[in-house]
Structure 1
Amino acid sequence: MTENLTDQIINVRKKLRKETIATIFDEFDGEITGLDSEKRIRKYNKMLNSAFQFYRGSAFLFYYDITNMPLAYHTPVDKPTWLQGDLHFENFGAFKNREGHVVYDTNDFDEGYFGSYLYDVLRMTVSVALYSEELGFDEDAQYKLIKTYLEKYYSQLKEFATNGEQPDTLNFDESNTKGPVLKVVKELPNRESNEILNAITTVNGNDRKFREMEGLVHLSAEERLELEENWNEYINSVEPQNKQPNAFYNIKDVVKKLGAGTGSIGLTRYYILIEGDMKGDQGDLVLEAKEARMPAATHFFPYDELFSDHPFHQGKRVITAQKAMQYLQDPFLGYFTIGNHHFYVRENSPYDEGVDPSDLSSMENMSETVEMMGRVTAKAHARADELILTHQSEEEIIDAIGDEYDGFMAQMIAASIFYKGQVKEDFELFTDWCQNKYNI
């Protein structure tokens, strides 16, 4: 009888949680983002690959849960941090900055917004646990990796707050990285500058066009005209110090990119071939324009009043977040609008690469990698307060932790391992829901 009652309680809890998951995905992907069934199936198919991929695509669920979790050590509500917003293991990478130097940093700002630093840090530590578990690391190793990340995050903040190191000019490059991160930083310069251009375009005489290939779809005449009619908004949004003559941005060809990303699947993404520096077809350049929607975080802690534009442009928000968190960022950053859809633009660069999972089989390599990720996160949070915010984020975070460092560490580790377990349970419920509702 006791066992039956216990089973009944477990089943009721699972039923209620499954209904919560269904409601949240219907609300966010259906009502808020406006994805139709085809786009939702495409997104969910990718999320069904693993618990980590499910986590990547469920930021709205994360914020719904975590904002109801009684966490200590928050910064004051009126002293928020610029958040990356969707911080996880695969949103770090090496790339070439504006001056051509290879650096390691965060590389996705679609969810960039404001809130307590704890949300970025906890989203990252949960991802460390999920990602390392998929690589075969046990829970003891996960505990140690989370602890390493948090230690490096905190110590780097202390360097900024008390030892005078400057976050606004700090880069992580060949001189101060190690392990798998150093490997990718050193190997990236050897990549051919035209690698992406040659992979997805072809030249017929003097005319370069996108290839006919899976995942790339040419626009209809009406769609292309609509984009071209709004392209000047992008040109005018490029920062003056990065601006090229208008002819540089002339559109030669454009396609839609299908199936990229996880959380962003279903949002429109264009590859745009532009004239470039006009050195024949060798000067051609591919830009990526990606639709930007309201970030998940804004539904749980709105700080819209911090933006000067009301209502603010979602594409402008994304590139502002990137400018806030990175030093010497992409010179092609900009934004434009088509109808009620907001887009941001960046270079589709061949010099953009994350750490290879095959290099993360040892505890030493994983530890060195999460160390770098902790330091990068601290740099992003400390640097970003230079835009819009009037306080020093690193000082506010250090003050929020105060003399309770051990308590902070214990809370974050426990919360991370607990929520990793919740994600794994949710993944099973999500799998059942997808099977029942979408037959996938």
Structure 2
Amino acid sequence: MTDRGDRIVSVLEEAFAGLMAADPAAFRHKFRKMAAEPFTFYRGSACLFYADMAELPDEWIDERTSRIWIQGDLHAQNFGTYMDSEGTLVFDVNDFDEAYLGAFTWDLRRFAASMALLGWRKALPDSAITELIRTYVAAYVAQVRTFVEHPDDELFSLRLDSTEGALHRVLQRARLATRIGLLDDKTTIVDYERRFRRDREGTHELSSDVLESVARAFASYLDTIPTGKRASSRTYAVKDVVGRSGFGIGSAGLHAYNILVEGRSQALENDVVLSMKQANIAAPSRIVADTRIREYFTDHGHRTAVSQRALQAHADPWLGHTEIDGVGYVVAELSPYEADLDWSDLTEPADMLPVLGYLGRATAKMHCVADSDSSQTLVDFQCEEAIAGVIGDREEAFTDAIVEFALDYARQTREDHRLFVDAFRDGRIKGVGSTA
């Protein structure tokens, strides 16, 4: 195996050794998905991306712009809709499992490289991919500068009344969803009470010991809901709990539970499904040495919840965190109003360009909302001013740097994918064979 192949195996083993040992079957499934094609490999190997970022010079970061709250795994499929705490449907970043503090360019680089991979998968020429990425970066920079001039960044969002085209259609699709539809899919009525369906793939019963642990963790979680977002105690009455597995390429080997609670009234249609999911180690945290950041979080469940609140102006009112046996978990609602952007419907660059403009603006909003105006205390400066300051009048050079990185790293990822497949097939990844 080549030196690069050895590096890929080493990084994956270092990142996932404990989880692979605990659940090799889950990682065999994850690696099988990653083997399918380069984009999926890229999605599942954020740890490799950050190992590379640790060695890559970056002229666009300084003391402040290296300490921006970032999404951490920003790729083309990590955007979608959610219902914010004020009841507004918003299109935004929708995954915070890898969120941390780091260089703002890491998010831009990771997203741009994902677009280069997505464009390659669609057989687009480099010239078209370059135009897509330039559109994204231009929209990002323009929105950052808008926030400098008009600091009310928490008021900006992509909504039904501020979008057109593909994004607007995603929001419309989410609007058609109903809570009762989600409940009918995941639950059933037994003796006039709602219970989880036990016949759903990935759902399993829990032992009495695990149920007791989850109950204690749920009680602790309630204390982490911000005072202004807490409802009456009846709202949080637990009605049923099941274990969950088989979700998400980035969640292999992690424990998760679905919890059915009463909701705002005793009417069965108002029941709410919560997810209590074991938090993973954020990939960027592996290369950020700042002890101020590391010591700010009690565990990765705390880190995930705090990060989401920082990066979203009006986060899920159910969002909180807890721990089981010293391991952090994040708790959030399983919302019926989540819909993802389907890139398979976007085949021509002309259709994709407006979307890239929206995503650039959404990325800027995410970076700029989590600063001294938000409730967290790690970022004590105005992010938009810091980012605009390092870019200055060199927007063209900044854009060129992101484009060049994206095209180069996409080529590297395609080769990395081949090396990964060979290593996996040959049994070179310790603890996870390619067959059972």
**Does TM-score exceed 0.5, indicating one fold?**
yes
Aligned-partner SS, 2:155: coil
1:136-174 deviations in Å (ceiling 9; x for gaps): 32222111111111110011101111x215212212112
1:366-407 deviations in Å (ceiling 9; x for gaps): 111111110000001011113321111111111112222221
Aligned-partner SS, 1:390: coil
Counterpart of 2:403?
413
Contact 1:30 1:36 in 2 (8 A): no
Aligned-partner SS, 2:276: strand
Counterpart of 1:16?
3
Counterpart of 2:185?
199
- Scaled by the length of structure 1, what TM-score is found? 0.92
Aligned-partner SS, 2:321: strand
2:36 to 49, 52, 56: 49
Equivalents in 1 of 2:153, 2:20: separation in Å? 35
2:79 to 89, 92, 114: 92
Aligned-partner SS, 1:64: helix
The reply on whether 1:300 has 2:287 as its aligned counterpart is: yes
1:247-285 deviations in Å (ceiling 9; x for gaps): 322222222221211122211121111122242322211
- CA shift, 1:179, in A, is 1.8
1:140 to 127, 136, 151: 127
Contact 1:43 1:266 in 2 (8 A): no
1:391 to 373, 378, 381: 381
- CA shift, 1:30, in A, is 0.6
Contact 2:19 2:253 in 1 (8 A): no
Structure 1 pair 304/172, CA: closer, same or farther in 2 (3 Å)?
Answer: farther
1:270-307 deviations in Å (ceiling 9; x for gaps): 11111222423222110011111321111111334146
- CA shift, 1:364, in A, is 2.0
1:439 counterpart letter in structure 2: S
Counterpart of 2:55?
68
1:35-56 deviations in Å (ceiling 9; x for gaps): 5322221221221222111111
Which structure 2 segments of 5+ residues have no match?
428-432
Equivalents in 1 of 2:53, 2:17: separation in Å? 22
Contact 1:149 1:370 in 2 (8 A): yes
Counterpart of 2:417?
427
1:50-102 deviations in Å (ceiling 9; x for gaps): 21111111111000112211232123268611011111111111121112211
Which stretch has the larger CA shift, 331-340 or 193-202?
193-202
Counterpart of 1:8?
none
Structure 1 pair 395/77, CA: closer, same or farther in 2 (3 Å)?
Answer: closer
1:127 to 106, 114, 129: 114
Contact 1:33 1:293 in 2 (8 A): no
The RMSD of aligned alpha carbons is 1.8
The reply on whether 1:153 has 2:140 as its aligned counterpart is: yes
Counterpart of 2:169?
183
The reply on whether 1:349 has 2:335 as its aligned counterpart is: yes
2:319 to 321, 330, 333: 333
- CA shift, 1:432, in A, is 1.0
Contact 2:39 2:114 in 1 (8 A): yes
Which stretch has the larger CA shift, 366-375 or 35-44?
35-44
Which stretch has the larger CA shift, 45-54 or 82-91?
45-54
- CA shift, 1:196, in A, is 1.6
2:410 counterpart letter in structure 1: K
Equivalents in 2 of 1:307, 1:425: separation in Å? 33
Contact 1:75 1:397 in 2 (8 A): no
- CA shift, 1:33, in A, is 7.6
Counterpart of 1:7?
none
2:311 counterpart letter in structure 1: M
Counterpart of 2:236?
249
Structure 1 pair 48/359, CA: closer, same or farther in 2 (3 Å)?
Answer: same
Equivalents in 2 of 1:120, 1:343: separation in Å? 24
**Identity level (%):** 31
Counterpart of 2:263?
276
Equivalents in 2 of 1:131, 1:164: separation in Å? 34
Counterpart of 2:434?
439
Contact 2:179 2:336 in 1 (8 A): yes
The reply on whether 1:218 has 2:205 as its aligned counterpart is: yes
1:435 counterpart letter in structure 2: R
Structure 1 pair 53/35, CA: closer, same or farther in 2 (3 Å)?
Answer: farther
Which structure 1 segments of 5+ residues have no match?
1-13
- CA shift, 1:435, in A, is 0.9
Aligned-partner SS, 1:54: helix
1:229 to 212, 216, 227: 216
- Scaled by the length of structure 2, what TM-score is found? 0.93
1:359 to 321, 327, 345: 345
2:153 to 160, 164, 167: 167
2:127 counterpart letter in structure 1: D
1:376 to 347, 359, 362: 362
